[in-house]
């Protein structure tokens, strides 16, 4: 979990699971809500400005790899 910027388990005390929950809950909730809270509003703003997603996606080269 240290790669996720959490403190080392040696610094989390006796109840590592509870402390890990507190440290990781916010980042996990942010990730789970990213589409609804970040992407969807941005996508709507672009559409409101006239961006045509269907045309853009249709023009992208297909990746077969």
- 40-65 pLDDT, tens per residue? 999 999 999 999 999 999 999 988 88
Whole-prediction pTM: 0.58
Residue in 48, 42, 5, 21 with CA at minimum distance from that of residue 13: 21
- 2-46 pLDDT, tens per residue? 676 667 777 777 777 777 777 778 888 888 999 999 999 999 999
Q: What is the pLDDT of residue 14?
A: 77
Q: What is the pLDDT of residue 2?
A: 64
* Residue 61 phi, psi dihedral angles, 5° rounding: -65, 145
Q: What is the pLDDT of residue 42?
A: 96
């Amino acid at each position: 979990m240290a790669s996720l910027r959490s403190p080392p388990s040696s610094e989390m005390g006796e109840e590592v699971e509870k402390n890990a929950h507190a440290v990781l809950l916010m980042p996990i909730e942010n990730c789970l809500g990213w589409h609804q809270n970040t992407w969807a509003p941005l996508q709507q703003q672009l559409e409101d400005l006239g961006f045509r997603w269907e045309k853009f996606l249709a023009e992208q080269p297909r990746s077969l790899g």
